[in-house]
Chains A and B, each alone.
Chain A
């Protein structure tokens, strides 16, 4: 089945630094990937839609200069949390779909970001 790999699984960084999270589709091409954020005991919230070769589409309230998304190839999207602050600490999850509107989205295993 379709596999989505996310790296790193955990990262601890200091306030003011930037952190890059990678999301790869291992056995299929994904023109679109999605980035979600999840706080403890809460549901997933969509942050942005990553489109290969074009600018990402951000959800309302998500700062595009804070959360930089790059989707340079059909198998890789990256999310960079810039100038991280403790309130950016969260669980970040990416997902991708093999192709069409009915194929299931498959998710990475998430990245636990802790900003100290």
Chain B
């Protein structure tokens, strides 16, 4: 089962910052928070990930609370092309080697003109 909880849907106006929340209250100390998004009929696209500190890249910013039990993905500013399903994922440990991602239901973000 996914270890994260997200709102099923959100709306945001084009040009405004979109703030997508995620709860991961059972996260372990060595587990990272990953964000992906999936545009209709495409594979998931990596956005950003982090462990403790806030992170920023060319796509988005990730704010992780000090207790690490929740995080927020910020898309500033949102464009129509940001309409997608956004997945917040805590990477599950499966021993050595690359680890799979367990997807929850995600948040369907709609950017309105």
Chain A residues in contact with chain B, CB under 8 A?
4, 6, 30-32, 34, 36, 43-46, 49, 91, 93, 95-97, 99-110, 112
Task: Point out the residues of chain B lying under 8 angstroms from A100, CB to CB.
Answer: 98
The interface size of chain B toward A, counting residues with CB under 8 Å, comes to: 24
A-B contact count (CB 8 A): 63
Q: How far is the CA of A107 from the CA of B99 in the complex (A)?
A: 13
The reply to whether B103 and A31 contact each other, CB–CB distance below 8 Å, is no
Residues of A within 8 A of B102 (CB): 46
- B97 — which chain A residues lie within 8 A by C-beta? 31-32, 101
In contact, B103 and A44 (Cβ under 8 angstroms): yes
Question: B36-73: which residues lie under 8 A (CB-CB) from chain A?
Answer: 36, 41-46, 49
Q: Bound state CA distance, A4 and B45, in angstroms?
A: 11
9 pairs, A vs B, C-beta closer than 8 Å = A6-B43, A31-B97, A43-B104, A44-B103, A46-B100, A101-B99, A105-B46, A105-B98, A105-B101
Q: Which residues on A sit within 8 Å (CB–CB) of B103?
A: 36, 43-45
What residues of chain A lie closer than 8 Å to B42, measured between beta carbons?
109-110
Nearest Cβ on chain B to A40's Cβ, whole angstroms: 10
B contact patch SS = loop
How far, in angstroms, from A6 to B98 measured CA to CA in the complex?
19
If A105-B46, A110-B43 are given as contacts, then 17 extra A-B residue pairs at C-beta distance below 8 Å, sorted by A number, are A4-B43, A32-B98, A34-B100, A43-B87, A43-B105, A44-B103, A46-B102, A96-B98, A97-B98, A101-B91, A101-B97, A102-B32, A102-B91, A104-B34, A107-B36, A108-B43, A112-B41
- Report the separation of the CA atoms of residues A34 and B34 in the bound assembly, to the nearest whole angstrom: 17
Whole-angstrom distance from the CB of A34 to the nearest CB of chain B? 5
**A107 contacts across to B, CB distance below 8 A:** 36, 43-46
Output the nearest chain B residue to A107 by Cβ-Cβ distance.
B43
When distances are taken between beta carbons in the complex, the residues of chain A under 8 Å from B41 are 91, 110, 112
**What's the nearest-Cβ distance from chain B to residue A61, in Å?**
14
Pair B34/A101 contact, Cβ less than 8 Å: no
Query: Would A44 and B100 count as touching, CB distance under 8 A?
Result: no
Chain B: which residue is nearest A46 at the CB level? B100
Assembly CA distance A4 to B98 (angstroms)? 15
Closest chain A residue, CB of each to CB of B42: A109
